[in-house]
Amino acid sequence: MLDPKLVRNHLDFVIEQTKKRGITLDKAKIISLEEQRKKIQTSLQELQNERNTLSKQIGITKGKAAKGEASNADVDTLMQKANNLGTSHLELEKELEKVQNELNSILEMIPNIVHESIPYGTSEKDNKEIRKWGEPKKFTFTPKDHVDLGAKLGMDFDIAAKISGARFVVLHSKLARLHRALIQFMLDLHIKEHGYKEIYVPYIVNADSLFGTGQLPKFKDDQFAVSADHEAYLIPTAEVPVTNTVREQILEAELLPLKYVCHTPCFRSEAGSYGKDTRGMIRQHQFEKVELVHIVHPDKSYEAHEELTKHAEEVLKRLELPYRVVALCTADIGFGAAKTYDLEVWMPGQNCYREISSCSNTESFQARRMMARFRDPKTGKPELVHTLNGSGLAVGRTLIAILENYQDEQGAITIPKALQPYMDNCQVIKPA
């Protein structure tokens, strides 16, 4: 969430920034609500001053009445006036709450201000390639995509559809083992070499947690609610529960940075994506990720952003999968992000690069929603932390990248050397 003072005092700047994302704010409505808020607050302050003055008069009049210098009727008159002022005060508070709720509903839907370094664009076509690693393999045959390869390796969408519906998969035998090996490999790399602390979290979160990281209220339709009152949801990513571990806390500065790695399943309804990436494992309702989360001092967040991105890249390097790093433009960047790098892995069966990780710096956007702070040792006052997150990596997409990049003409898959120790030194998965 943006600082309300920023929106209040620099509304034109906020409107200009959100336009870069293709979003138009209702300036007239925001100004009207702000004027109402100020007017009601002024009236409340005047009313409170009047109540304070009247309270003193009542005390003095009661004292005089006790001495016979004033009548009880005088006291009753003042008391009635006080009651009337109290009723008026209560009505004004209700009006203020209504106006404030309207302002909050607007504020909650305003995206983060993008960092000055990200490219301007009107669609994902305007994303900017930053660097590439690895050369796509030149096949002597036409490479298959993961769906055709997986059909003979133990990847079953039909059984999954019978059990659960569309956009689910069942993995058998060595393919399931490869999926598990990837998770263990990623966790070991990030913990042993990149200095992350492993954390295990619930897979169900409350609405406050989803609000804190920006999924609610804007992306409510993308969530899987598991309670009738919509107060409990399956997690769309480990980013939600992990980042919320610092919600409503004031951390000591020496504890920063916090670097967490977490493996979880993720659940997304994919509302609005019907007809898009419906083939295979690219876009599913249930998938797994190894997530990286940083909680850092504001002065260190862009340094941490580069570090987190390189940690995710290292997974692809160890697996020898060609990829590129792309800076998302203003039209494609996520709601809460100030800057995002996407890692896109080469998929020869699809003859294109596909996203396999998004590494984002949200600056203080999530922290303000969560009230996640640290105590500044210079001032002794609480300040908002900066939060970052990224996939390190999406497990299913990494698996299909391996299938497509390591296939031979018979449909057998060579296991990347980095994964062989996690598969009892198995070197090849052969089709049935």
Q: Which of 124, 401, 407, 170 is nearest to 284 (CA)?
A: 170
Q: Is 283 a catalytic residue?
A: yes
The active-site residue, picked from 268, 368, 369, 373, is 268
Write the Ramachandran bin of 41: left for phi over 0, alpha for psi from -120 to 50, otherwise beta. Answer: alpha
Q: Is 355 a catalytic residue?
A: yes
The active-site residue, picked from 357, 358, 360, 364, is 358
Q: Is 358 a catalytic residue?
A: yes
Q: Is 51 a catalytic residue?
A: no
pLDDT score at 133:
98
pLDDT surpasses 70 at 409: yes
Total of domains in the chain: 2
Residue 222 phi, psi (nearest 5): -85, -10
pLDDT score at 271:
66
pLDDT score at 70:
77
In this structure, the answer to whether residues 50 and 137 fall within a common structural domain is no
Supply the pTM of this predicted model: 0.92
Look up the CATH number of the domain holding residue 174.
Answer: 3.30.930.10
Does residue 412 fall inside a structural domain? yes
pLDDT score at 276:
65
The active-site residue, picked from 51, 180, 247, 283, is 283
Does residue 13 fall inside a structural domain? no
The active-site residue, picked from 180, 355, 375, 383, is 355
In this structure, the answer to whether residues 198 and 302 fall within a common structural domain is yes
- Residues 35-63: tens digit of each pLDDT: 999 999 999 999 999 999 998 998 888 88
In this structure, the answer to whether residues 82 and 143 fall within a common structural domain is no
Distance CA 258, CA 150 (A): 39
In this structure, the answer to whether residues 247 and 355 fall within a common structural domain is yes
Does residue 2 fall inside a structural domain? no
In this structure, the answer to whether residues 54 and 174 fall within a common structural domain is no
pLDDT score at 265:
98
DSSP, residue by residue, 377-395: TTT--EEE-EEEEEEEEEH
In this structure, the answer to whether residues 218 and 73 fall within a common structural domain is no
Mean pLDDT of 148-163: 97
Mean pLDDT of 372-390: 97
Domain that residue 81 falls in: 26-107
In this structure, the answer to whether residues 65 and 35 fall within a common structural domain is yes
Does residue 229 fall inside a structural domain? yes
In this structure, the answer to whether residues 392 and 294 fall within a common structural domain is yes
Does residue 14 fall inside a structural domain? no
pLDDT surpasses 60 at 72: yes
Compute CA 272 distance to the chain's CA centroid, rounded to the nearest angstrom: 18
Instruction: Give the residue from 51, 78, 107 where a domain finishes.
Output: 107
Does residue 37 fall inside a structural domain? yes
Confidence of residue 274 (pLDDT cuts 50, 70, 90): low
Does residue 19 fall inside a structural domain? no
In this structure, the answer to whether residues 96 and 242 fall within a common structural domain is no
Does residue 163 fall inside a structural domain? yes
Averaged pLDDT score across all residues of the chain: 95
Compute CA 213 distance to the chain's CA centroid, rounded to the nearest angstrom: 4
Look up the CATH number of the domain holding residue 49.
Answer: 1.10.287
pLDDT score at 273:
57
End-to-end alpha carbon distance in the chain: 52
Confidence of residue 300 (pLDDT cuts 50, 70, 90): very high
Instruction: Give the residue from 81, 107, 133 where a domain finishes.
Output: 107
Q: Which of 329, 319, 388 is nearest to 356 (CA)?
A: 319
- Assign 3-state DSSP to the chain and report helix, strand, coil percentages, each to 5: 45, 20, 35
In this structure, the answer to whether residues 352 and 286 fall within a common structural domain is yes
Highest mean pLDDT: which of 69-78, 83-92, 313-322? 313-322
| Residue position matching structure tokens 């997974």 | 315
The active-site residue, picked from 21, 167, 177, 397, is 397
pLDDT score at 33:
97
Q: Is 247 a catalytic residue?
A: no
Mean pLDDT of 255-273: 91
pLDDT score at 159:
97
In this structure, the answer to whether residues 289 and 223 fall within a common structural domain is yes
In this structure, the answer to whether residues 251 and 335 fall within a common structural domain is yes
pLDDT surpasses 60 at 383: yes
What Å distances lie between residue 172 and 16, 109, 367, 429, CA to CA? 52, 43, 41, 12
Listed range (239-248, 277-286, 348-357) with the worst mean pLDDT: 277-286
